[in-house]
Protein backbone atom coordinates (compact mmCIF):
# COMPACT_ATOMS: atom_id res chain seq x y z
CA UNK A 1 0.00 0.00 0.00
CA UNK A 2 1.14 3.51 -0.77
CA UNK A 3 -0.19 6.87 0.29
CA UNK A 4 -1.34 9.20 -2.48
CA UNK A 5 -2.45 12.77 -2.10
CA UNK A 6 -5.20 13.43 -4.58
CA UNK A 7 -7.00 16.60 -5.51
CA UNK A 8 -10.57 15.52 -6.30
CA UNK A 9 -13.34 18.00 -7.03
CA UNK A 10 -11.25 20.79 -5.48
CA UNK A 11 -10.73 18.89 -2.22
CA UNK A 12 -7.52 17.26 -1.03
CA UNK A 13 -7.70 13.59 -0.07
CA UNK A 14 -5.06 11.18 1.14
CA UNK A 15 -5.65 7.57 0.19
CA UNK A 16 -3.67 4.49 1.16
CA UNK A 17 -4.02 2.03 -1.71
CA UNK A 18 -2.11 -0.26 -4.03
CA UNK A 19 -0.23 1.64 -6.75
CA UNK A 20 -1.98 -0.34 -9.47
CA UNK A 21 -5.49 0.37 -8.20
CA UNK A 22 -7.47 2.02 -10.97
CA UNK A 23 -8.58 5.56 -10.22
CA UNK A 24 -12.17 4.38 -10.78
CA UNK A 25 -12.06 2.18 -7.71
CA UNK A 26 -10.30 4.81 -5.62
CA UNK A 27 -13.11 7.21 -6.47
CA UNK A 28 -15.93 4.74 -5.96
CA UNK A 29 -14.76 2.48 -3.15
CA UNK A 30 -12.41 4.69 -1.17
CA UNK A 31 -13.83 8.19 -1.66
CA UNK A 32 -17.43 7.00 -2.15
CA UNK A 33 -17.92 9.09 -5.27
CA UNK A 34 -20.18 6.62 -7.01
CA UNK A 35 -21.35 8.85 -9.86
CA UNK A 36 -18.50 7.48 -11.99
CA UNK A 37 -19.54 4.07 -13.32
CA UNK A 38 -17.80 0.83 -14.11
CA UNK A 39 -18.72 -0.28 -17.61
CA UNK A 40 -16.26 -2.57 -19.37
CA UNK A 41 -13.02 -2.16 -17.42
CA UNK A 42 -11.07 -1.95 -20.70
CA UNK A 43 -11.46 1.70 -21.77
CA UNK A 44 -13.91 0.65 -24.46
CA UNK A 45 -17.20 2.17 -23.30
CA UNK A 46 -16.59 5.53 -21.60
CA UNK A 47 -18.84 5.01 -18.56
CA UNK A 48 -15.90 5.68 -16.22
CA UNK A 49 -14.81 8.97 -17.82
CA UNK A 50 -13.47 11.65 -15.48
CA UNK A 51 -11.23 14.67 -16.02
CA UNK A 52 -7.53 14.92 -15.19
CA UNK A 53 -6.59 18.60 -15.40
CA UNK A 54 -9.64 19.07 -17.61
CA UNK A 55 -8.82 16.25 -20.01
CA UNK A 56 -11.23 13.33 -20.34
CA UNK A 57 -9.65 10.04 -19.29
CA UNK A 58 -10.88 6.52 -18.65
CA UNK A 59 -10.56 6.01 -14.93
CA UNK A 60 -10.88 2.21 -15.20
CA UNK A 61 -7.45 1.98 -16.87
CA UNK A 62 -5.77 4.88 -15.08
CA UNK A 63 -3.76 3.60 -12.12
CA UNK A 64 -3.87 5.88 -9.11
CA UNK A 65 -0.08 6.10 -9.30
CA UNK A 66 -0.41 7.90 -12.67
CA UNK A 67 -2.56 10.74 -11.32
CA UNK A 68 0.22 12.66 -9.56
CA UNK A 69 -0.58 16.32 -9.01
CA UNK A 70 -3.25 16.46 -11.70
CA UNK A 71 -6.62 17.56 -10.44
CA UNK A 72 -9.39 15.02 -10.74
CA UNK A 73 -12.93 16.09 -11.57
CA UNK A 74 -15.85 13.69 -11.42
CA UNK A 75 -19.50 14.23 -12.28
CA UNK A 76 -20.06 15.23 -8.65
CA UNK A 77 -17.60 18.10 -9.07
CA UNK A 78 -18.46 19.26 -12.58
CA UNK A 79 -20.40 22.17 -11.13
CA UNK A 80 -21.05 23.21 -7.54
CA UNK A 81 -24.83 22.98 -7.93
CA UNK A 82 -25.48 20.58 -10.80
CA UNK A 83 -26.12 23.48 -13.15
CA UNK A 84 -23.34 23.06 -15.68
CA UNK A 85 -24.83 23.95 -19.10
CA UNK A 86 -24.58 20.30 -20.11
CA UNK A 87 -26.42 19.15 -17.00
CA UNK A 88 -29.18 21.68 -17.64
CA UNK A 89 -29.45 20.65 -21.30
CA UNK A 90 -29.51 16.98 -20.28
CA UNK A 91 -32.45 17.68 -17.99
CA UNK A 92 -34.29 19.89 -20.46
CA UNK A 93 -34.05 17.30 -23.22
CA UNK A 94 -34.64 14.36 -20.89
CA UNK A 95 -31.56 12.63 -22.28
CA UNK A 96 -31.04 9.58 -20.02
CA UNK A 97 -32.86 6.33 -20.34
CA UNK A 98 -31.42 3.88 -17.80
CA UNK A 99 -28.80 6.51 -16.98
CA UNK A 100 -25.86 4.21 -16.50
CA UNK A 101 -23.62 5.71 -19.17
CA UNK A 102 -24.66 9.31 -18.68
CA UNK A 103 -22.08 10.59 -16.22
CA UNK A 104 -19.38 9.44 -18.62
CA UNK A 105 -21.20 10.99 -21.55
CA UNK A 106 -21.44 14.35 -19.78
CA UNK A 107 -17.80 14.29 -18.66
CA UNK A 108 -16.61 13.55 -22.19
CA UNK A 109 -18.85 16.28 -23.59
CA UNK A 110 -17.69 18.79 -20.97
CA UNK A 111 -14.01 18.28 -21.78
CA UNK A 112 -14.84 18.53 -25.47
CA UNK A 113 -16.87 21.75 -25.21
CA UNK A 114 -14.14 23.32 -23.10
CA UNK A 115 -11.86 22.87 -26.14
CA UNK A 116 -14.41 23.66 -28.87
CA UNK A 117 -17.11 26.12 -27.92
CA UNK A 118 -19.07 25.87 -31.19
CA UNK A 119 -18.40 22.44 -32.66
CA UNK A 120 -19.77 21.07 -35.92
CA UNK A 121 -22.13 18.10 -35.95
CA UNK A 122 -19.31 15.94 -37.24
CA UNK A 123 -16.98 17.11 -34.49
CA UNK A 124 -19.60 16.27 -31.84
CA UNK A 125 -20.13 12.83 -33.35
CA UNK A 126 -16.39 12.23 -33.47
CA UNK A 127 -15.80 13.48 -29.93
CA UNK A 128 -18.54 11.29 -28.49
CA UNK A 129 -17.82 8.19 -30.57
CA UNK A 130 -15.99 6.44 -27.74
CA UNK A 131 -18.89 6.68 -25.30
CA UNK A 132 -21.35 3.85 -25.72
CA UNK A 133 -25.00 3.90 -24.68
CA UNK A 134 -26.77 0.57 -24.63
CA UNK A 135 -30.12 2.41 -24.50
CA UNK A 136 -29.37 4.29 -27.72
CA UNK A 137 -29.77 7.86 -26.45
CA UNK A 138 -27.24 9.14 -28.97
CA UNK A 139 -29.50 11.59 -30.79
CA UNK A 140 -30.62 13.23 -27.54
CA UNK A 141 -27.02 13.42 -26.34
CA UNK A 142 -26.07 15.13 -29.60
CA UNK A 143 -28.92 17.65 -29.32
CA UNK A 144 -28.13 18.35 -25.67
CA UNK A 145 -24.50 19.11 -26.50
CA UNK A 146 -25.64 21.56 -29.15
CA UNK A 147 -28.06 23.15 -26.73
CA UNK A 148 -25.40 23.45 -24.03
CA UNK A 149 -23.13 25.11 -26.59
CA UNK A 150 -25.93 27.60 -27.34
CA UNK A 151 -26.22 26.28 -30.90
CA UNK A 152 -29.73 24.92 -30.83
CA UNK A 153 -33.08 25.61 -29.23
CA UNK A 154 -34.45 22.19 -30.04
FE1 LIG B 1 -28.79 3.46 -20.56
FE2 LIG B 1 -27.02 5.04 -21.83
S3 LIG B 1 -28.92 5.63 -20.89
S4 LIG B 1 -26.74 3.00 -21.23
Query: What are 25-51's pLDDT values in tens digits?
Result: 999 999 999 999 999 999 999 999 999
Question: Where does a domain end: 58, 77, 96?
Answer: 77
The three-state secondary structure class of 117 is coil
Per-residue model confidence (pLDDT) at position 151: 76
**In this structure, are residues 71 and 111 in contact, taking their beta carbons and an 8 Å threshold?**
no
Give yes or no for residue 39 CB within 6 A of ligand 1. no
Q: How far apart are CA 143 and CA 152, in angstroms?
A: 7
Give yes or no for residue 93 CB within 6 A of ligand 1. no
Query: Among 39, 90, 98, 130, which residue has the most ligand 1 atoms within 8 Å of its CB, making it the best to mutate?
Result: 98
Question: Where does a domain end: 44, 77, 110?
Answer: 77
pTM given for the model: 0.96
Give yes or no for residue 65 CB within 6 A of ligand 1. no
Domain that holds residue 96: 85-153
Q: What domain count does the chain have?
A: 2
Q: How far apart are CA 104 and CA 134, in angstroms?
A: 13
Amino acid sequence: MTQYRLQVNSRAHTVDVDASMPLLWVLRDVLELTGTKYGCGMAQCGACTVHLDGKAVRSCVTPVSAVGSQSVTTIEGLSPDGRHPLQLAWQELDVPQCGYCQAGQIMTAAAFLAQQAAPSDDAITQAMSGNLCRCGTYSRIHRAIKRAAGMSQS
